[in-house]
């Protein structure tokens, strides 16, 4: 399982969090499938960690166009979620 941010070339949407499942032989990665984890561009910098038997992930939720000195909390972390294959 790999997690990465990318851009959809057909729609030009940026900061898409993608989960990519496949096999790595030490030199090359053979992709089985990929799936977008979040539909939106304001969630990025996704981080995943192991908690017991669960894989948990959180992302950074922000739209820098909507920030400013008058906004108390312009950004935040997302709610944690379990990731299953």
What confidence score (pLDDT) does residue 52 get? 94
Determine how β-strand 2-6 pairs with β-strand 81-83.
Answer: unpaired
79-83 average pLDDT score: 91
Q: In sequence order, which residues have a C-beta less than 8 Å from that of residue 62 and are 6 or more positions away?
A: 42, 44, 74, 75, 76
Q: CA angle, corner 72, sides to 69 and 76, nearest 5?
A: 115
* Structure confidence by residue, pLDDT tens digits, 21-69: 999 999 999 999 988 887 766 787 888 899 999 999 998 888 777 677 7
Enumerate the domain spans of the chain: 2-83
pTM of the model: 0.63
6-33 average pLDDT score: 83
Q: Quick count: other Cβ atoms within 10 Å of Cβ 35?
A: 9
């Amino acid at each position: 399982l790999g997690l990465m941010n990318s851009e959809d070339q057909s729609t030009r949407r940026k900061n898409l969090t993608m989960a990519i499942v496949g096999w790595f032989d030490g030199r090359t990665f053979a992709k089985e499938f990929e799936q977008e984890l979040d539909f939106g561009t304001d969630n990025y910098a996704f981080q995943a960690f192991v908690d017991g038997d669960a894989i948990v992930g959180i992302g950074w939720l922000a739209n820098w166009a909507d920030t400013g000195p008058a906004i108390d909390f312009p950004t935040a972390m997302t709610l944690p979620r379990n990731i299953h294959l």
